[in-house]
């Protein structure tokens, strides 16, 4: 069921209600780039903690850990820049661009929708509701396991990065407080790694839910993140 | 007037040539330019020795042991003579009331102009009864002695962070100096023990420039604790190449590959071991084939095994690390998804078979 506002928006776009432009191009590009970066960061990050087996030959012949760390650090810079760009887009983009940053925590109706979605996922409801943007349940998960974690991983990651880059400078000013706050370098590493596992678990869940909704629900999902248009099937 | 360092040195038979060598060595180890060497010499020749009161709380005396082994004989001579080490209950000849009286005398005579060096820390539980000196809790003695001091040096991880006596569950509530003494500049010189030359370097800097060295966020002198063991490690090349010791007796261990996988804490430890090394530059832990245990890091006893790369997270109450917890969550998520997908499939089959039947029923009615 579309809310009144959604219908109005759809009409404003001069289209039929069956297809609405939801995700703008910059947001879609960010989504897929970010997905790629997360995979790269998780794989290289895993390997930094648990490196591949020792290589034979002279040390001068190889640079495995060097490359892994280089990829991890470059990808993390892109991830952080992407996150900032995404934050900027939340201000200038359409209202769906703000979804994952601003949750209507105080809206009782919204919480009812969360419960409804939860019941739908628990097979207690027969018909899925339709939403223009993310469904409330998905949004709740996205907020905690992506938005919060993405900033958390950026802080812990850059905290560790600036620590070994040495005191002083803007990096130290921005992130230098993180490592002492978490009780030292080793502890920060542990939290950063646990964060990686949780984000990856969420990513798997996210992909599963997206495929499932694409199949079962009455509107498009994966294609929406590619084309930007949300199609309603009935 | 108190003797200058130079006078003491000459009296002990040290030549001027050796003295000047020491000055240039000190300038180099402090990372100063050649122009600083005459300034160090001038200071040592002219400044009266600053009295130092060296207190011992809950500790193992490893800091003192390191300090007196300061590599270059000259350094040892200089430091033991250059400091007017007026009180150190481990080293001094005086004992009992005579010893304790020295503290009072120095406090009066050099008010606001002496340095307190603390080895170990005070336990605060049971009103400090776990460490009694001269018939009263050490914490009281520490506070009184530091009250008129110019600066306080916290020797070692005990005084800086708490170390082993403050490790979980810390029954005596051993507490680092910076949480007991406030309003005084405190220089943390962590390490269990700190490197001898780091200790003498800090003291020399303070006496030469009459100010405390530049400290980092954790109160440590930047010049010695600003760089990571890992970044100055001579085995770093093997790390970058991905060549690791996989077991203590494997071929890689014999070849001297990186000890990262054996739990070396070099990547998370900030100290000067890999550049200055120990015992006059003879060796240091990694060079002798064992990983760094991170002894100069805050709470290193509570950071999990010395032999694990990915160490435990204490908040979980069990010996679990990021990989065990995260792996379990990932597997759990996977299993939940599989179960959920199966349920979904079942449901849609049920619905598909149920819907035509319903429609059929509707037709009949």
B116: β partners: B53, B152
Distance CA B158, CA B173 (A): 12
Q: Would you call A204 and B337 a contact, using CB atoms and an 8 Å cutoff?
A: yes
User: A70-84, A119-133, A161-175, B123-137: which has the minimum mean pLDDT?
Assistant: A119-133
pLDDT at A185 over 50: yes
Higher pLDDT, B93 or B73: B93
Nearest CA-CA distance, residue A110 and chain B, Å: 24
Q: Would you call A65 and B265 a contact, using CB atoms and an 8 Å cutoff?
A: no
Contacts B348 to A, Cβ<8 Å: 216
Distance CA B9, CA B3 (A): 10
Q: Would you call A180 and B303 a contact, using CB atoms and an 8 Å cutoff?
A: no
Give the chain B residue nearest A206 (alpha carbons).
Answer: B337
Contacts A127 to B, Cβ<8 Å: none
pLDDT-derived band of residue A161, with 50, 70 and 90 as boundaries? very high
Q: What is the pLDDT of residue B245?
A: 94
Q: Is B289 on the interface with A (CB under 8 A)?
A: no
pLDDT-derived band of residue B357, with 50, 70 and 90 as boundaries? very low
Q: What is the CATH number of the domain that holds A120?
A: 1.20.950.20
Please give the average per-residue pLDDT across A223-232, as a whole number: 83
DSSP string, B285-297: GGGGT-----TTS
Give the chain B residue nearest A212 (alpha carbons).
Answer: B341
Q: Is A97 on the interface with B (CB under 8 A)?
A: no
CB atoms within 10 A of CB A138: 22
Give the chain A residue nearest B237 (alpha carbons).
Answer: A59
Cis check for the bond before B169: say yes or no (omega within 30 of 0): yes
pLDDT at B361 over 50: no
pLDDT at A5 over 60: yes
Scan for tokens 């008129």, then name that residue. Answer: B148
Q: What is the count of residue pairs from A and B with beta carbons less than 8 Å apart?
A: 144
Nearest CA-CA distance, residue A203 and chain B, Å: 10
Are B5-225 and B231-311 the same fold in CATH? no
Q: What is the pLDDT of residue B71?
A: 62
Q: What is the pLDDT of residue A6?
A: 66
Q: Would you call B323 and A50 a contact, using CB atoms and an 8 Å cutoff?
A: yes
B258: β partners: B244
Shortest CB distance from B238 goes to which of A59, A183, A202?
A59
pLDDT-derived band of residue A234, with 50, 70 and 90 as boundaries? low
* B153-203 pLDDT tens trace: 999 999 999 999 999 889 999 999 999 999 899 999 999 999 988 888 888
pLDDT-derived band of residue A160, with 50, 70 and 90 as boundaries? very high
Whether B121 and B176 have beta carbons less than 8 Å apart is answered as yes
pLDDT-derived band of residue B362, with 50, 70 and 90 as boundaries? very low
Looking at every residue in chain B, the average pLDDT score rounds to 85
Distance CA B163, CA B364 (A): 83
Q: What is the pLDDT of residue A4?
A: 64
Contacts B222 to A, Cβ<8 Å: 167
Please give the average per-residue pLDDT across A157-178, as a whole number: 87
Q: Is B313 on the interface with A (CB under 8 A)?
A: yes
Structure tokens at A32: 């897929």
- What are the angstrom distances between the C-alpha of B169 and each of A55, A186, A223? 42, 20, 55
Distance CA A163, CA A136 (A): 39
Assigned fold of B5-225: Rossmann fold (3.40.50)
Sign of CA dihedral B129, B135, B140, B141: negative
Q: What is the dihedral of CA A24, A27, A31, A32, to 10 degrees?
A: 60
CB atoms within 10 A of CB B332: 11
- What are the angstrom distances between the C-alpha of A139 and each of A85, A97, A112, A117, B306? 20, 12, 14, 11, 41
Helix (H) or strand (E) holding A229: strand A229-231
Shortest CB distance from A164 goes to which of B231, B244, B304?
B231
Write down the CATH superfamily of domain B231-311: Cytochrome-c3 hydrogenase, C-terminal domain (4.10.480.10)
Angle between helices A149-165 and A185-216 (to 10 degrees): 150
Q: What is the pLDDT of residue A11?
A: 60
Contacts B218 to A, Cβ<8 Å: 180
Shortest CB distance from B303 goes to which of A53, A61, A187?
A187
* A50-60 pLDDT tens trace: 999 998 889 89
Q: What is the pLDDT of residue B23?
A: 87
Q: What is the pLDDT of residue B141?
A: 93
Q: What is the pLDDT of residue A36?
A: 96
Q: Would you call B222 and A51 a contact, using CB atoms and an 8 Å cutoff?
A: no
Query: pTM of the prediction?
Result: 0.81
Scan for tokens 């990856």, then name that residue. Answer: A200
Q: Is A51 on the interface with B (CB under 8 A)?
A: yes
Q: Would you call A65 and B239 a contact, using CB atoms and an 8 Å cutoff?
A: yes
Please give the average per-residue pLDDT across A148-164, as a whole number: 93
- Is the reported ipTM for this assembly greater than 0.90? no
Scan for tokens 């034979």, then name that residue. Answer: A56
Please choose, from the candidates B326, B304, B239, the residue with its C-alpha nearest in 3D space to the C-alpha of residue A164: B239
- Stretch 224-243 of chain B: residues touching chain A, C-beta under 8 Å: 226-228, 230-231, 237-243
A163, A184, A198, A217: best to mutate for the B interface, most B CBs within 10 A: A184
Distance CA B345, CA B337 (A): 12
User: A99-113, B110-124, B166-180, B251-265: which has the minimum mean pLDDT?
Assistant: A99-113
Nearest CA-CA distance, residue B297 and chain A, Å: 7
- What are the angstrom distances between the C-alpha of B74 and each of A15, B3, B17, B30, B265? 88, 18, 12, 17, 33
Q: Is A169 on the interface with B (CB under 8 A)?
A: no
Contacts B341 to A, Cβ<8 Å: 208, 212
- E-strand ranges in chain B read 51-56, 84-88, 115-119, 132-133, 136-137, 151-155, 186-189
pLDDT at B82 over 90: no
pLDDT at A28 over 70: yes
- Stretch 79-118 of chain B: residues touching chain A, C-beta under 8 Å: none
Q: Is A119 on the interface with B (CB under 8 A)?
A: no
CB atoms within 10 A of CB A116: 17
* A35-51 pLDDT tens trace: 999 999 999 999 999 99
pLDDT-derived band of residue B360, with 50, 70 and 90 as boundaries? very low
Q: Is A122 on the interface with B (CB under 8 A)?
A: no
* B241-300 pLDDT tens trace: 999 999 999 999 999 999 999 999 999 999 999 988 998 888 999 999 999 999 999 888
Q: Would you call A183 and B299 a contact, using CB atoms and an 8 Å cutoff?
A: yes
Name the percent of chain B lying above pLDDT 90: 43
Listed by start position, the domains of chain B span 5-225, 231-311
Q: What is the pLDDT of residue B57?
A: 93
């Amino acid at each position: 069921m579309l809310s009144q506002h959604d219908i109005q928006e759809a009409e404003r776009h001069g289209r039929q209600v069956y297809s609405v432009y939801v995700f703008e191009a910059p947001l879609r590009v960010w989504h897929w780039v970010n997905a790629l970066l997360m995979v790269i960061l998780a794989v290289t990050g895993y390997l930094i903690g648990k490196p591949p087996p020792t290589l034979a030959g002279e040390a001068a012949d190889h640079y495995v850990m060097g490359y892994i760390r280089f990829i991890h650090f470059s990808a993390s810079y892109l991830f952080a820049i992407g996150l900032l760009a995404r934050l900027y887009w939340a201000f200038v983009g359409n209202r769906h661009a703000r979804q994952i940053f601003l949750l209507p925590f105080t809206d009782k109706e919204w919480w009812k929708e969360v419960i409804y979605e939860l019941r739908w996922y628990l097979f207690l409801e027969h018909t899925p509701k339709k939403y223009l943007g993310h469904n409330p349940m998905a949004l709740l998960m996205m907020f905690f396991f992506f938005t919060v974690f993405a900033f958390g991983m950026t802080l812990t990651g850059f905290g560790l990065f600036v620590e070994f880059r040495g005191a002083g400078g803007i990096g130290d000013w921005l992130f230098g407080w993180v490592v002492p706050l978490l009780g030292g370098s080793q502890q920060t590493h542990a939290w950063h790694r646990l964060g990686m596992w949780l984000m990856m678990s969420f990513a798997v869940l996210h992909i599963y839910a997206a495929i499932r909704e694409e199949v079962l629900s009455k509107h498009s999902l994966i294609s929406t993140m590619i084309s930007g248009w949300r199609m309603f099937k009935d | 007037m108190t003797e200058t360092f130079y006078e003491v040195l000459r009296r002990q038979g040290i030549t001027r040539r050796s003295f000047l060598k020491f000055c240039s060595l000190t300038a180099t180890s402090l990372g100063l330019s050649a122009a600083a060497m005459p300034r160090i010499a001038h200071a040592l020749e002219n400044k009266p020795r600053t009295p130092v009161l060296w207190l011992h709380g809950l500790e193992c005396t490893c800091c003192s042991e390191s300090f007196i082994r300061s590599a270059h004989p000259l350094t040892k001579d200089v430091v033991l003579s250059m400091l007017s080490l007026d009180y150190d209950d481990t080293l001094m000849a005086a004992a009992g009331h005579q010893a304790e009286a020295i503290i009072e005398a120095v406090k009066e005579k050099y008010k606001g102009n002496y340095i307190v060096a603390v080895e170990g820390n005070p336990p605060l539980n049971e009103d400090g009864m776990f460490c009694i000196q001269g018939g009263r809790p050490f914490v009281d003695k520490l506070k009184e002695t530091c009250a008129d001091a110019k600066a306080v040096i916290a020797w070692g991880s005990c005084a800086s962070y708490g170390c082993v006596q403050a490790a979980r569950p810390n029954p005596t509530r051993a507490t680092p100096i910076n949480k007991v003494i406030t309003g005084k500049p405190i220089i943390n010189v962590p390490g269990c023990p700190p490197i001898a030359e780091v200790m003498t370097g800090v003291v020399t800097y303070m006496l030469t420039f009459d100010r405390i060295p530049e400290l980092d966020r954790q109160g440590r002198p930047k010049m010695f604790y600003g760089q990571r063991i890992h970044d100055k490690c001579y085995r770093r090349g093997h790390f970058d190449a991905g060549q690791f010791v996989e077991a203590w007796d494997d071929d890689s261990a014999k070849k001297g590959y990186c000890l990262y996988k054996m739990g070396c804490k070099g990547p998370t430890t900030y100290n000067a071991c890999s550049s200055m090394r120990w015992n006059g530059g003879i060796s240091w832990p990694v060079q002798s084939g064992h990983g760094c245990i991170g002894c100069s890091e805050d709470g290193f006893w509570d950071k999990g095994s010395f032999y694990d790369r990915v160490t435990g997270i204490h908040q979980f109450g069990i010996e679990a690390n990021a990989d065990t917890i995260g792996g379990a969550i990932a597997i759990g998520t996977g299993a939940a998804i599989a179960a959920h997908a199966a349920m979904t499939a079942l449901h849609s089959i049920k619905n598909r078979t149920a819907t035509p039947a319903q429609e059929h029923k509707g037709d009949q009615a």
